Amino acid sequence: MCSLQPPFNTLTYAIIGDDTAPNYFRINSTTGDVFLSSSVQFDTRSTYQVRLQVNDGGIPSRYDSAILTVTVTRNLFRPVFLQSDLERTVTIYEDQILGENIVCVTATDADRRSPHDQVRYEATSTNSGNTLTYFAINSVDGCVYVRQSLRTNNLFQDRFQVSLRN
C-alpha cells in the first residue's frame, strides 16, 4: 500500500560512497538535484559513476538506489598557430581601404568536439598605445584589417600581438 501522507511521502536524497564521486558531486537532499561540488579539471577521468539513494520518511524507512553516469568532455589541447604565422611582417599603404583584410593568421586546435575545437583570435598588446585604434582582428577568422584611416603626416611602424583562446 502506498501512503501519500507525511512522513511516508517525505523523500530524502543522498550520494552513497562509490568510487570518488562524493569528492566531486553533491546532491540536494530535498530535491534530488545533483551538482558539481569541486572541479574535475585536473582529474583525468572522463566518466564518473554516482550512486544515488532515496529514502522515504516511514518507519521502517524504504529506499531505492540508482546509478547516474556523468560524462565529462575535456578540453585537452591548446590552440596552436601555424608555424608560418608565428612572426609576420606586413607593409601596407596609407590609403589602405578600411575594413579590407591586410593579413590572416591561422591556428588549429586538436580537440575533436565543439566548443573546444573552436579557435578565437584577439589582439592583446602593442608597442605603442594607439595601434589598436588603427588595426583590429576578426575574432573568428584571424584576419587583421584597418579600422581607421592611416593618412597621417607621420610614417609609423608598430606591432601587435595576437593571442589565441578556445
Residue 5 maps to a domain: no
The reply to whether 144 and 91 lie within a common domain is yes
Q: What are 64-123's pLDDT values in tens digits? A: 999 999 998 877 778 888 877 677 788 888 888 999 999 898 888 888 877 878 888 888
The reply to whether 120 and 63 lie within a common domain is no
Is the pTM above the cut of 0.75?
A: no
User: Nine-digit cell at 75?
Assistant: 578540453
Residue 28 maps to a domain: yes
Q: What are 13-30's pLDDT values in tens digits? A: 999 976 788 889 999 999
Other beta carbons within 10 Å of 135: 20
Could you list the residue range(s) of the whole structural domain that residue 134 is in?
A: 80-165
The reply to whether 123 and 152 lie within a common domain is yes
The reply to whether 96 and 160 lie within a common domain is yes
The reply to whether 116 and 45 lie within a common domain is no
From 54, 71, 88, the end of a domain falls on 71
What CATH number does the domain containing 98 carry? Answer: 2.60.40.60
Q: What are 40-62's pLDDT values in tens digits? A: 888 888 889 999 999 998 888 89
Residue 4 maps to a domain: no
Domain count, the chain: 2
Residue 50 maps to a domain: yes
The reply to whether 55 and 85 lie within a common domain is no
The reply to whether 49 and 67 lie within a common domain is yes
Tell me which long-range contacts 108-112 makes (C-beta under 8 A, separation of at least 24). Answer: 108/79, 108/80, 108/82, 109/77, 109/78, 109/79, 109/80, 109/166, 110/76, 110/77, 111/75, 111/76, 111/77, 111/166
Residue 45 maps to a domain: yes
The reply to whether 61 and 15 lie within a common domain is yes
